[in-house]
């Protein structure tokens, strides 16, 4: 079964420093790579690249241009 990867999808990171934490997909680069936003990143580094093998999609979706929705999905207060 293929993973449903689309912009705005909230996922759980499976590997790396952010493992087990929620992330939001902000851009789909190709069929294997996306740009994500995480709560545990430095203030200046909002987005970074990630392979879809390291993501587990959840049923939640947010508007990535709406800062309040993204922060709520990531657990940022």
Check if the beta carbon of residue 64 is closer than 8 Å to that of residue 8: yes
Determine phi and psi for 70, rounding to 5 degrees: -65, -45
Put simply, whether the predicted model's pTM sits higher than 0.95 gets the answer no
Give the pLDDT confidence score for residue 44 in this predicted structure. 55
DSSP state of 46: -
Q: How far is 7 from 25, CA to CA, in rounded Å?
A: 5
24-41 per-position pLDDT tens digit: 999 999 999 999 998 876
Q: Report the share of the chain in percent with pLDDT over 70.
A: 91
User: Where in the chain are the domains?
Assistant: 9-65
Give the pLDDT confidence score for residue 76 in this predicted structure. 81
Architecture of domain 9-65: Roll (2.30)
β-bridge mates for residue 38, sequence order: 23
Give the pLDDT confidence score for residue 47 in this predicted structure. 87
Kindly tell me if the per-residue pLDDT of 3 is higher than 80. no
């Amino acid at each position: 079964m293929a993973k449903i990867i689309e912009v705005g999808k909230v996922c759980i990171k499976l590997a790396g420093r952010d493992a087990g934490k929620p992330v939001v997909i902000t851009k789909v680069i190709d069929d294997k790579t996306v740009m994500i936003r995480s709560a545990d990143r430095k203030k200046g580094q909002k987005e970074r690249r990630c392979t879809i093998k390291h993501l587990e999609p959840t049923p939640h979706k947010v508007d990535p241009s709406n800062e309040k929705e993204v922060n709520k999905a990531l657990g940022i207060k």
